[in-house]
Chains A and B, each alone.
Chain A
Amino acid sequence: MVQLREQSEAAEFFPSDVEYQGLLSKRSRRGRVVQLSFLLMLTIAVVGLGILLYTIIDDSFGLVAVVNQNEPEAVVSAYGYDPAVTVLDDLNKEQLVDVLQGSVSSGVGRRLEREERFFADRLVFESQAKWDEVCASDEPPSGCSGGVRSKGNVLDLVRERVIQPDIVAVNRLTASIFNPDGFKEEVETAFVENPSRFGEYTYDQVRYQWRAWFSWKFVTSPASDRPEIAGVRTAVLGSIWLVIITVLFAVPVGVGAAIYLEEFARPTRINDLIQTNINNLAGVPSIIYGMLGLAVLVRILEPFTSGSLFGEGAPNGRTIMSAGLTLGLLTLPVVIISSQEAIRAVPSSLRQAGMGLGATKWQTVRSQVLPVAIPGILTGTILAVARAIGETAPLILVGAASFITVSPSGPFSQFTALPIQIFQWTSFPQEEWRHLAAAASLVLLVLLLTLNAAAVIMRNRFSRRMS
């Protein structure tokens, strides 16, 4: 600095060494403050994610207040057990069937038995003669094929049909852990202040129990209009069917288009148009694809998408086929773009080597370029498909929103899907459904996590084989 001052006239405009020291520390102080605020902002995003996951988990478990139509204690003591020692689970299968027989109408009983027998050696609700007749008919019910209900299955039936718990109030996980009494007081107050909300129930009937909304039973139970027994089996199966159709359409077409654009397309106007067009399509909102699906797949192509061309028949085009193809179209640009990137990353020396040996373009691409590009293509594709699974808006448009309890049987079935189920349950006013929506979200997130993990594992395995 000293020398500078002597040499340059401009030096007088610069701060002195002491001033400069002060300036420097001010600048670095400001630097630290701003850096911290950047970090703070980033943390907000992370915290946002944390709260989101927390909200879902918090709503997926918790205390519930139920009113049972029949108390399990009463059922147990009817068999001469002490309810303080013995619980419903301790009854054996014969006793449970007996309980069921004593409570449900014979019509319901017969239906249950035709679904699946209670015992291999005897019939409970149905006479032998009638059973033989039903089983000899053209369409014998599933019970005729010989399966027998397990004890756990009968227990579930007893809970569902005899105990018949009715959830009257729900609570969240953290509140249930840290302040269970608060919840109980709240329910009690509600009974005092607003008894009409609970119909004929009195507070004496209320029992508190833990409930895991997210459970294996939840995943395997069909949809229902009773939150106590509703599950997501139908929705999960619907989503799986959708993924199958989506993949079958988007992967071959998308990878094919990517190969064409990267390896064969000369820079002509039509090929430029295709490329620009794909980039544009990637930015089109998903709901627009839903409208395309509604107008073209559901409506115009109804003979195909309803399956009536093939002699199967959904009443209209609002089928898995329509929705799967809609999601396929939606996924297509993403698959193309990520596959293009993967293909572009293959060193051109491999292409030259292949062509230099007298291979045709396609031989080179198929045997040399694609094998190297596959890990990248797979990863991109799986991520694109994962996005498709979570898409809701297009499915609403192509008509997945109807209430369906029957599992889809094929691509031409009407259906519902996991995100649709979450959407519907979230928009219901009663709080119970909110918890079901949380549990369904958890199922969806687990599904996505599994897919992403599969993508990572597959990529690693492939790249190991390559090297």
Chain B
Amino acid sequence: MNETPESTVLDPTAAPATADAVGGVEAADDGPGVLETRSMDVFYGDFKAVADVSMSFTFNEISALIGPSGCGKSTVLRSLNRMNDLIPTARVDGEVRYHGTNIYAGDVDPVEIRRRIGMVFQKPNPFPKSIFDNIAWGAKINGFKGSKSDMKDLVQGALEQAALWDEVKDKLTESGLSLSGGQQQRLCIARAIAVQPDVILMDEPCSALDPIATLRIEELMLELKENYSIIIVTHNMQQAARVSDRTAFFNVELDTTGQRTGHLVEFSPTDVLFTTPKEKATEDYITGRFG
């Protein structure tokens, strides 16, 4: 984390993560780096949705992306594993480096990227299949070579990691849609884990859930960061404060032509960002004076 990125918006060296304020877990300031964006712009057709984003994410850390709606935080998240490819007009300039490789380089396989950088969506979206198949399918298409019992172990392991095993172990053949909303979202997390990614992107994973289910997911995220790098988009500042080690604040800027383009204002350790933000815009936002 000591390298100085070329970007100008923030200086990671100036923001060394100290002790984790929330979980008491040691912050991963020296963990291996995984994912990094360099001067990333995202366009939809001619419309520049996000401009000049440079940030890096490390292992064993939860990073939260916050900001007013329309600031492009979801767009940034989806650019990190090329989910934006599914939108025909979307285009990314700049670089997104995953273990040092630009994932937008011509010879990189987006399918492979998405396996390694998993995603959990805003609304739980289990497949209309059994709970077991929901998890097994990802492994199967990614060439899982193990036996049937290996697959059972994999499914059980993923469900245990997602803290869902005890609730569903007796009804693995039932449809994933039969679960409650919170359980469905944990099923989706288990599904993402089962294909062995090392980064998990979560796009407002709790916005469709009730408070109790939200709490379960937050606890789960804190457990999962032992093994993964987690990047979460949330509209809920309290949630960012509760779970994340570092927080990025995005804001919208109106340019001269009236286009709304999002940009990164500040990316700091969470406790720093919420207590002593460097930027005025950040302070306005976290104190409720944005607009």
Chain A positions near chain B (C-beta within 8 angstroms) = 266-267, 347, 349-360, 363, 367-368, 371-372, 466-467
Contacts and interface: CB of A to CB of B under 8 A. Distances in A.
A363 B141 contact: yes
Nearest to A359: B141
B162 to A, nearest CB: 14
Given A349-B123, A467-B177, A356 B141 contact: no
B111 interface: yes
Name, among B119, B128, B177, the residue most crowded by chain A CB atoms within 10 Å (CB to CB). Answer: B128
Contact of A356 (B88, B114, B128, B175): B114
B115 interface: yes
Contacts of A349: 121, 123, 125
14 contacts: A349-B125, A351-B86, A353-B127, A353-B191, A356-B83, A356-B114, A357-B191, A357-B192, A357-B195, A358-B112, A358-B141, A358-B195, A359-B138, A467-B128
Interface residues of B, number: 28
Contact of A358 (B86, B115, B128): B115
A467 B178 CA distance: 8
A358 B88 contact: no
B79 interface: no
Contacts of B111: 355, 358-360
Interface string B153-183: 0000000000000000000000101000000
Given A356-B118, A358-B141, 5 more contacts: A349-B123, A353-B121, A353-B125, A356-B121, A371-B128
A151 to B, nearest CB: 56
Contacts of A347: 125
B127 A356 contact: no
Contacts of A354: 127
A270 to B, nearest CB: 15
Contacts of A372: 128
Interface of B: 81, 83, 86, 88, 111-116, 118-119, 121, 123, 125-128, 137-138, 141-142, 175, 177, 188, 191-192, 195
Contacts of B192: 356-357
**8 smallest A-B Cβ distances: which pairs?**
A358-B115, A349-B125, A356-B119, A357-B138, A358-B114, A353-B125, A363-B141, A359-B141
Contacts of B191: 353, 357
Contacts of B83: 352, 355-356
Contacts of B121: 349, 352-353, 356
Contacts of A467: 128, 175, 177
Contacts of B88: 266-267
B115 A368 contact: no
A372 B129 CA distance: 10
B86 A357 contact: no
B119 A367 contact: no
A364 to B, nearest CB: 9
B268 to A, nearest CB: 29
Contacts of B142: 357-359
A330 to B, nearest CB: 32
A182 to B, nearest CB: 64
Determine which residue in B113, B119, B127, B192 has the highest number of CB atoms from chain A within 10 A of its CB, and name it. Answer: B127
Nearest to B82: A355
A94 B81 CA distance: 86
Given A356-B83, A357-B191, A367-B137, A350 B112 contact: no
B86 A352 contact: yes
A284 B188 CA distance: 47
Contacts of A357: 114-115, 118, 137-138, 141-142, 191-192, 195
B141 A367 contact: yes
A353 B201 CA distance: 12
A347 B121 CA distance: 13
A313 B284 CA distance: 86
A367 B115 CA distance: 17
B35 to A, nearest CB: 16
A360 B143 CA distance: 12
Contacts of B123: 349
